[in-house]
């Protein structure tokens, strides 16, 4: 039997860091939602008890360093499954981009193997397993739109934002999330974004207030390290996006756009100097 799972990319509408904890993790408040740019996973049972990963993307690990491999191993060990699986990753989400591609693949693997092996694991258990793999994985298991707190693993489902276009642009640099958090100092942040204001804007369904309350404190690190990310933000604003923000630890910048007529102008303007530009919809 063969099954398929979609692994969509996430964007952060808001990312705030409250403090560094004693365990080394950061206490965060994030509002995350999914966009219609997705990896596609194909999973097939193997006649022998092993995990095999393949992908057309030449630049990701295909061994136990791959997050889909780690997810398969975790679910196999925890539920004592003595079966093997072959997972093919059709990568569409750019890697190390701040779009949680690896986390979403891990989450899709958990959902998919739950089905393939008929394990009937409830969603909250899958989320707990996901939290062992990475802070963004539980959100990727559930999808939708959520407020994430703690180190990102505590989730509260909220309304989806109103439908709009999302233009994503990734400059040709790879950013390590661990490196960005390593350089981040809460004391450097003069003004934190308002989680309450963003939650209010979403619950009212106000597109303009959502655009007005976008915020990501990690921009203070990534924009300082890579001026091209700042230039990309400024270009997207100049080209007429309604709201612009860096996603996660970057370097991908996204622009929210309500009017279709504006989208192609922004896309064409960015394509002049940035190779990786995507026009997608919010997944609502
Ligand atoms: P986040 O927003 O959660 O920080 P990201 O989008 O910045 O994630 P990923 O695309 O998840 O970053 O990749 C981060 C690292 O994880 C890369 O260095 C990559 O080699 C490794 N990796 C492991 N498994 C995968 C996978 N299935 N897809 C992409 N990268 C993976």
Which whole number is the average pLDDT over 16-37? Answer: 94
* 96 C-alpha to ligand 1 centroid (Å): 5
- Position 246 confidence tier, pLDDT thresholds 50, 70, 90: very high
Q: What is the mean pLDDT of residues 31-60?
A: 95
CA of 265 to the centre of ligand 1 (A): 30
What is the pLDDT confidence band of residue 120, given thresholds at 50, 70 and 90? very high
- Mutational test site, ligand 1, from 13, 95, 175, 250, max ligand atoms within 8 Å of CB: 95
Rounded Cα–Cα distance for residues 40 and 156 (Å): 26
Distance CA 151, CA 2 (A): 35
pLDDT band at 1 (very low <50, low <70, confident <90, very high): confident
**pTM to 2 decimal places:** 0.95
| pLDDT score at 58 | 81
The catalytic residues are 10, 136
CA distance 268 to 23: 45
Q: What is the mean pLDDT of residues 41-59?
A: 94
Query: Ligand 1: which residues within 6 Å by Cβ?
Result: 60-61, 65-68, 89, 95-103, 105, 136, 177, 248-249
SS (H, E, C) 124-165: HHHHHHHHHHCCCHHHHHHCCEEEEECCCCEEEEECCCCCCE
Contact partners, residue 257, CB within 8 Å, separation at least 6: 164, 165, 166, 167, 240, 241, 242, 263, 266
With contact defined as beta carbons under 8 Å apart, do 274 and 170 qualify?
A: yes
Say how far apart CA 247 and CA 14 lie, in whole Å: 9
Which ligand 1 atom sits closest to the C-alpha of 9?
A: 6
Q: Are 181 and 225 in contact (CB under 8 A)?
A: no
Q: What is the mean pLDDT of the chain?
A: 96
Banded model confidence at residue 24, pLDDT cuts 50, 70, 90: confident
> Which domains are assigned to the chain?
2-157 (3.30.230.10), 165-281 (3.30.70.890)
CB 217 within 8 A of CB 15: yes
Report how far ligand 1's centroid is from the alpha carbon of 20 (Å).
23
Q: What is the mean pLDDT of residues 145-171?
A: 95
What is the Cα–Cα distance from 69 to 108, expressed in whole angstroms? 11
């Amino acid at each position: 039997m063969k099954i398929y799972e979609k692994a969509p990319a996430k964007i952060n509408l808001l990312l705030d860091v409250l403090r560094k904890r004693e365990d080394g993790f950061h206490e965060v408040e994030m509002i995350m939602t999914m966009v219609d740019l997705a990896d596609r996973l194909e999973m097939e049972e193997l006649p022998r008890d092993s995990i095999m990963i393949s992908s057309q993307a030449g630049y990701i690990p295909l061994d136990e360093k791959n997050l889909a491999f780690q997810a398969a191993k975790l679910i196999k060990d925890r539920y004592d499954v003595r079966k093997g699986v072959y997972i093919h990753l059709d990568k569409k989400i750019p890697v190390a981009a701040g779009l949680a591609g690896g986390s979403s693949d891990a989450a899709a693997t958990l959902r998919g193997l739950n089905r393939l092996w008929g394990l009937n694991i409830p969603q909250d258990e899958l989320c707990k397993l996901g939290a062992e793999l990475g802070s963004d994985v539980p959100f990727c298991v559930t999808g939708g739109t959520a407020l994430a707190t703690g180190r990102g693993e505590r989730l509260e489902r909220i309304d989806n934002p109103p439908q709009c276009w999302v233009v994503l642009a990734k400059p040709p640099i790879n950013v390590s999330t661990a490196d960005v958090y390593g350089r981040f100092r809460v004391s450097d942040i003069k003004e934190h974004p308002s989680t309450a204001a963003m939650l209010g804007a979403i619950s009212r369904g106000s597109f303009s207030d959502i655009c007005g309350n976008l915020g990501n404190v990690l921009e203070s690190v990534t924009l300082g390290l890579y001026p091209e990310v700042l230039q990309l933000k400024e270009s997207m604003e100049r080209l007429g996006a309604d709201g612009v923000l860096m996603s996660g630890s970057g370097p991908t910048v996204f622009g929210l756009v309500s009017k279709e007529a504006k989208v192609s102008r922004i896309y064409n303007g960015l394509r002049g100097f940035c190779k990786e530009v995507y026009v997608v919809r919010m997944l609502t």
